[in-house]
């Protein structure tokens, strides 16, 4: 491609966006691809770059928090699977094994849903967990104290995950306030 915007050419046919290298007619004020202020002052260009920078940073933070919530769902899935396996091997408890396996699978589905809705996914996972505990306590009240340490670990993991999901949501809210630019900029 021919270089069209050299300083030697005072009236260029096209103007190239400094940010994304898209060519535009010379009268264009903002890039249609990335909304960069092509004809703007240095200040305007700097402020655009800062906006893009903080947007990227916020997105990265949010992604990390979502990942944190998702990890906790995986931890719960793993713990259900392992304890089901232990019950199966130690007590020949096929029923518990199958039930734990089903819960693990549901958690894996929730973990993949957490990309789109981290808060909904982890709260659902937590609600399922609490429901199971309540049902088990109704069936046999001694179930409450059985594996109590593991239960505390799981609840702590869920609380941590829910906190991450809430933080992710508030970061996404901040992101809304930062002027939107197309994703092509990432």
CA distance 87 to 166: 35
Q: Say if CB 168 and CB 121 are below 8 A apart.
A: no
Where are the alpha helices (H) located in the chain, listed in sequence order?
42-91, 94-113, 118-139, 148-177
Residue from 15, 36, 68, 129 that binds Zn ion (CB under 5 A)? 36
Is residue 31 at the binding interface for Zn ion, with CB under 5 A as the rule?
yes
Contacts of 12 by beta carbon, 8 Å cutoff, 6+ apart: 4, 5, 26
Is residue 178 at the binding interface for Zn ion, with CB under 5 A as the rule?
no
CA distance 73 to 163: 13
Instruction: Tell me the window of 10-18, 69-77, 91-99, 160-168 that interacts with Zn ion (CB under 5 A).
Output: 10-18
Q: Say if CB 84 and CB 101 are below 8 A apart.
A: yes
Is residue 104 at the binding interface for Zn ion, with CB under 5 A as the rule?
no
Report the nearest approach of Zn ion to the CB of residue 47 (Å): 15
Is residue 17 at the binding interface for Zn ion, with CB under 5 A as the rule?
yes
Instruction: Tell me the window of 29-37, 52-60, 97-105, 109-117 that interacts with Zn ion (CB under 5 A).
Output: 29-37
Dihedral over alpha carbons 68, 71, 72, 78 (to 10 degrees): -170
Q: Which is nearer to Zn ion, 36 or 158 (CB)?
A: 36
Residue from 16, 23, 30, 33 that binds Zn ion (CB under 5 A)? 33
Instruction: Tell me the window of 32-40, 84-92, 126-134, 162-170 that interacts with Zn ion (CB under 5 A).
Output: 32-40
Q: Say if CB 74 and CB 169 are below 8 A apart.
A: no
Q: Residue numbers of the site for Zn ion (CB under 5 A)?
A: 17, 19-20, 22, 31, 33-34, 36
């Amino acid at each position: 491609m021919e270089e069209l915007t050299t300083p030697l050419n005072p009236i260029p046919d096209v103007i190239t966006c400094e940010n994304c290298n898209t060519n535009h007619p010379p009268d264009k004020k903002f890039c249609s691809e990335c909304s960069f202020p092509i004809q703007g002052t240095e200040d305007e260009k700097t402020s655009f770059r800062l906006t893009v920078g903080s947007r990227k940073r916020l997105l990265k933070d949010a992604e990390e928090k979502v990942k944190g919530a998702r990890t906790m769902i995986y931890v719960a899935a793993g713990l259900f699977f392992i304890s089901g396996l232990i019950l199966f091997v130690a007590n020949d408890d096929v029923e518990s094994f199958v039930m734990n396996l089903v819960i693990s699978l549901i958690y894996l589905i929730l973990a993949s849903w957490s990309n789109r809705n981290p808060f909904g996914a982890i709260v659902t996972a937590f609600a399922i967990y609490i429901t199971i505990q309540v049902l088990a306590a109704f069936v046999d009240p001694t179930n409450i104290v059985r594996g109590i340490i593991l239960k505390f670990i799981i609840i702590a993991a869920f609380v941590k995950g829910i906190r991450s999901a809430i933080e992710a949501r508030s970061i996404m809210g901040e992101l809304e306030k930062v002027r939107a630019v197309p994703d092509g900029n990432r």
